[in-house]
Copies of this chain bind each other. A is one copy, B any other.
Amino acid sequence: MRHFAVLDKVPTGISGFDEVAVGGLPAGRCCLVSGTTGSGKTLFAVEFLARGIAQFDEPGVFVTFEETADDIRRNAASLGFPIEEWEAQGKWTFVDASAKVADEAPTIGEYDFGGLLARIGAATRRISAKRVSIDSLGAIFSRFPLGGVVRYELFRIVAGMEQLGVTSVVTTERISEYDGVSRHNVEEFVVDNVVILRNYLAEQRRRRTVEVVKLRGAQHRSGEWLFTIDPERGLVVIPMAYIVHRPAAASER
């Protein structure tokens, strides 16, 4: 059985996820990671960069909006990632858009996306970054009442990332676990690759799943996969579920 001539894949290094994504995220492309609050978007974005540095020596740029660089540093430290050390080594750099947001009153419907792209580009070149995480566009997109504008700007950001040659992760917000798509009803359609993190209540308990909804031009496993957030290992996608439900031979998408 001949397989697709897949796009090059970049292993995320996130435990178990690369098996679901059949090798990782498409190299040089952008992946949307969408989820409700607390579903693990920031953790995914952080691990994507951190494991890139720790396991594959690929420098990364982390773009924040509402959380400060310090928040991310501390958060990552709790998972054993020495961000400050990596910053000193020129392996990790922050583009902190959050300061800007706080300084000045926002004008609804305005944001300098061109300037943002320029700053990300500069940071990328400075440390020769291979990975970029943008977490999250929710704050900025909340200013735009029209889905059409959100769609256009997201398209520009994705195109910008791909022109930089980096593999990138962009997080966006979902309002409910299973209904509809992301907040502005357009996000998933714009981006080549989409991962959804879910965190749903079933009989008073939370259950986390990850799903690769699409990888344009590349193979991936379908359906929801259980994961946990382990104090030691961070995001851990559970391969047991895979083994139980599906024969290893099958390679459906």
- Chain A: residues with CB nearer than 8 A to chain B? 1-7, 36-38, 42, 66-67, 71, 74-75, 77-80, 101-102, 105-106, 108, 136, 138-139, 142-149, 151-152, 155-156, 159, 173, 175-176, 178-181, 183, 185-186, 188-190, 192, 194, 201, 204-206, 209, 211, 213-214, 216-219, 222-225, 228-229, 231-232, 245, 251-253
Whether A223 and B252, one on each chain, are in contact in the complex, defined by CB atoms closer than 8 angstroms, is: no
Whether B189 and A37, one on each chain, are in contact in the complex, defined by CB atoms closer than 8 angstroms, is: yes
Residue of B nearest to A252 (CB): B228
Copies in the complex: 6
In the complex, which residues of chain B have a beta carbon less than 8 angstroms from the beta carbon of A213?
Answer: 37-38
Interchain residue pairs with CB less than 8 A apart (28): A1-B231, A2-B80, A3-B231, A3-B232, A5-B80, A7-B74, A36-B181, A37-B181, A37-B213, A66-B189, A67-B216, A74-B217, A75-B217, A105-B152, A106-B149, A108-B149, A142-B148, A173-B189, A175-B185, A201-B211, A204-B225, A205-B223, A205-B245, A206-B222, A219-B231, A228-B253, A229-B252, A231-B253
Whether B143 and A148, one on each chain, are in contact in the complex, defined by CB atoms closer than 8 angstroms, is: yes
Q: Contacts A66-B190, A206-B223, A222-B205 hold; do A78 and B4 have CB atoms under 8 A apart? A: yes
Whether B214 and A201, one on each chain, are in contact in the complex, defined by CB atoms closer than 8 angstroms, is: no
Q: Contacts A156-B102, A176-B180, A205-B223 hold; do A78 and B5 have CB atoms under 8 A apart? A: yes
Q: In the complex, A229→B155 CA distance in Å? A: 26
Interface centre among A66, A176, A192, A232 (most CB of B within 10 A): A66
Q: In the complex, A201→B79 CA distance in Å? A: 32
Whether B101 and A155, one on each chain, are in contact in the complex, defined by CB atoms closer than 8 angstroms, is: yes
Q: In the complex, A206→B186 CA distance in Å? A: 21
In the complex, which residues of chain B have a beta carbon less than 8 angstroms from the beta carbon of A37?
Answer: 181, 188-189, 194, 213-214
In the complex, which residues of chain B have a beta carbon less than 8 angstroms from the beta carbon of A186?
Answer: 138, 142
Q: In the complex, A5→B77 CA distance in Å? A: 7
Known contacts A102-B156, A204-B225; can you find 7 more A-B pairs with CB under 8 A?
A4-B231, A5-B77, A66-B189, A67-B216, A102-B155, A205-B222, A228-B253
Q: In the complex, A189→B159 CA distance in Å? A: 26
Whether A38 and B214, one on each chain, are in contact in the complex, defined by CB atoms closer than 8 angstroms, is: yes
Interface centre among A138, A155, A179, A209 (most CB of B within 10 A): A155
Residue of B nearest to A40 (CB): B214
